[in-house]
Structure 1
Amino acid sequence: MKKLLVVLLGLASLNVYANGCGGEYQPATGTCRIIDSSGRQILYNVGRPQSSNSGYAQNQPSVVNIDVPSTYGAWAVNPKTGISGGALNMSSRALAEKEAIRTCEQGGQNAPCIIGAWVRNGCIAVAQGKTGKKLRTFYAIEDPDMAEPMALRKCQAAGAVQCKITTPEGCSLPKF
């Protein structure tokens, strides 16, 4: 049974490689799904034969663009108190910034807050460290699982000590 499973998995991976799909191949429909840098989903139809002028069938990929709405996130902070707030998965940058300020100001108790960073279709994390007696803030906007390490690297590269994540990674990624 194990040998049969290995053979089937091998054939499935060969099929994906043979179709030249650089993303997620869906054999039931013969399509390949790829996400481009702007967050749009692109489907390549790699498995459907099309007839050519010479009368024989050949596989020619066709491109189908699917617009996937972007999502935005923002992080706001009160520079005097250091208290911060954020927003994720908003439909626009303006809405994300407004919500981040609202959560940061906590009903006016922590006003005024300012936007420290915003993100479109990505992740954000914040680190803090000390340089002398001053507390400094470093943020990173990256792909998933990369924002926290990058924020810490920025903090350390600036010569700060006691660098630590103060706002864990939060992501605003498009939904397919």
Structure 2
Amino acid sequence: MKKLLVVLLGLASLNVCVANPTYDATRGALQNDPSLCQYGYNPNCASSRQHQRNQPTEIINIKVPSQYGAWAVNPKTGISGGVLNMSSRALAEKEAIRACEQGGRNAPCVVGAWVRNGCIAVAQGKTGKKLRTFYAIEDPNLAEPTALRKCQDAGAVQCRITTPEGCSLPKF
């Protein structure tokens, strides 16, 4: 009787393995049921991956106008001025020179740096007796640290931010 019971249990377990040869006991029921492939529950199905790859991707181009900023300085006096969020580089440079010259009292000014869709900061430090200027044009929150690092990497001392970070970023 015991032999018969062992044989029956053995046949029953063999029947389970033969009934579904793809069944893997180490994976859950959702991964083993091929009928669930069409619903995306079974990541091991080639058909669900194929279905996902065949989905059309819609590309939408949105035209967002660029924004410009500029910083100008009078090389003799060191007085500077700048503007942000202008519609063109030429306009940004023109307005930066106008802001720097302060109605003619600080003329002549020259553009030191400009930015398109980014941020600008200016640092100054001394190299010997000469004051040097360092510009950084970066992503938001990176311009000031970059300007200071450029100043320090050049061997200047007493490096400090003279123009805090200002950003000209497109508006969505």
> TM-score scaled by structure 2?
0.68
- The residue aligned with 1:40 is none
Do structure 1's residue 135 and structure 2's residue 131 form an aligned pair? Answer: yes
- Tell me how far 1:61 sits from its aligned partner: 1.5
Equivalences for 1:73-112 in 2 at 5 Å? 73-112=69-108
* Distance (Å, rounded) in 1 between the aligned partners of 2:67 and 2:136: 17
1:120 corresponds, among 116, 119, 137, to 116
Which structure's CA Rg is the greater one? 2
Does 2:140 align with 1:144?
A: yes
Q: CA RMSD in A?
A: 0.7
Q: Tell me the alpha carbon deviations over residues 51-84 of structure 1, each in whole angstroms, 9 at most, x when there is no partner.
A: xxxxxxx632210101100000000000011000
Q: Give structure 1 regions of 4+ aligned residues with deviation exceeding 6 angstroms.
A: none
- 2:56, 2:85 → 1: CA distance? 37
Q: Structure 1 regions of 5+ residues with no counterpart?
A: 1-57
Q: Alignment identity in percent?
A: 84
Q: Which has the higher helix share?
A: 2
Gaps of 5+ in 2: 1-53
* Greater fraction of residues in strand: 1
How many residues are aligned here? 119
SS at match of 2:103: helix
Shift of 1:122: 0.3
Does the alignment pair 1:169 with 2:160? no
CA distance in 2, matches of 1:136, 1:66: 41
Residue 21 of structure 2 is matched in structure 1 by: none
Match in the other structure for 1:31: none
Alignment correspondent of 1:32: none
Q: Does 1:154 align with 2:169?
A: no
Task: Deviation per CA, 1:115-164: give whole Å up to 9, x if none.
Answer: 00000000000000000000000000000000000000000000000000
Q: Secondary structure at 1:116's aligned position in 2?
A: strand
For residue 80 of structure 1, what is the amino acid of its counterpart?
Answer: K
Q: Name the CA distance, whole Å, in 1 between partners of 2:95 and 2:57.
A: 43
Between the aligned partners of 1:167 and 1:81, the Cα distance in structure 2 is 15
Q: Secondary structure at the match of 2:106?
A: coil
Whole-Å separation in 2 of the counterparts to 1:145 and 1:59: 38
